[in-house]
Amino acid sequence: MKKLRYRLLDVFSKRAFGGNQLAVFADVPAISPEIMQSIAKELNLSETTFVLQPKDPANDYRVRIFTPATELPMAGHPTIGTSYVLALDHLAKHHEQIKTLNLEEGVGAIRVDIEWEADLPAFLEMSQPLPTFGSSFADAGAIGQMLSLRPEAITDTSLPLQVVSCGVPFLFVPVMDLQSIRAIRFRVDVWERVLRDFEASHVFVFTRETEVEGSTVHSRMFAPASGIGEDPATGGACGPLGCYLARYNVLPPGRLIEFVCEQGLEIGRPSFMRIRIEQNEVGEITAVRVGGRCHFMGEGHLEIED
């Protein structure tokens, strides 16, 4: 039997039982991707990560990310949480704090910057790939039906329904207010009909009205294709969200746009992500960064047959 140790974290939260849960297997023996997928399904968290030796020696580690249903090329809270574990492991082995990590993921190398308080990583920030803006989705009525909302809750924002990706594509859906976003009842049957085979199957809904002081955007994310009914915190969507908000001047323009996205409140797991978008003098996006805190919850192990 192989004994596989994992650490359990709440990511994008500074307290227990908030944020998005993550299991990190940081010292992985030779196991197949099929076993990794089975472990992710067994744990049934939004994501589970496995740390391997990098293919490119310029990187520090290779990280594979699995939802209960599929492997992802990149994701936010798994990158942040895995970096938290790796930073602590490095401190324990080498008695020094590391300030950066380069993680090899499916989209390439992802840089993570780490700020420390005493002997704990206090804030971690990942740099995401620059955005690609994809298709618009013209049928607000179909999206309203999928969310159990009147189409006017979407169209009255005067903002487009558009796909944006910084590694993983999401369909961004603006809604008018908190009342509307709280009222969402996601209909998988409608999603199957209108979005399963669309350019982006993940749905990120947001409003400028917020619940918590200091937040700028309130959001919810639905990803049935990945086996996730509703995600408590989606760092991989917050980068492209910032790019969307910058392109359509939803936030005040500038060389640096910085804001906080709150998520997970409807499902009892409040999460907070800090987003920073840098632009040049002609408004081209030059950097996309998403960061937050982690809370260590515990550890355990699984026994897997050889």
- Active-site positions read 47
Please report the DSSP string for 145-200 in residue order.
HHHT--THHHHTT----EEEESSSEEEEEE-S-HHHHHT----HHHHHHHTTTSS-
Measured between alpha carbons, how far is 46 from 83 in angstroms, rounded to an integer? 17
Cα atoms found within 13 Å of the Cα of residue 247, Cβ hemisphere only: 18
Q: Which residues contact 56 (CB under 8 A, 6 or more apart)?
A: 104, 109
Strand, helix or coil at 65? strand
Q: Give the start-end residues of each E strand in the chain.
A: 2-11, 20-25, 47-52, 61-66, 71-72, 100-105, 108-117, 120-128, 132-136, 162-165, 169-174, 202-207, 217-223, 228-231, 256-263, 271-279, 285-292, 294-304
Measured between alpha carbons, how far is 63 from 268 in angstroms, rounded to an integer? 28
Measured between alpha carbons, how far is 158 from 177 in angstroms, rounded to an integer? 13
The tokens describing 254, both together, are 């500038």
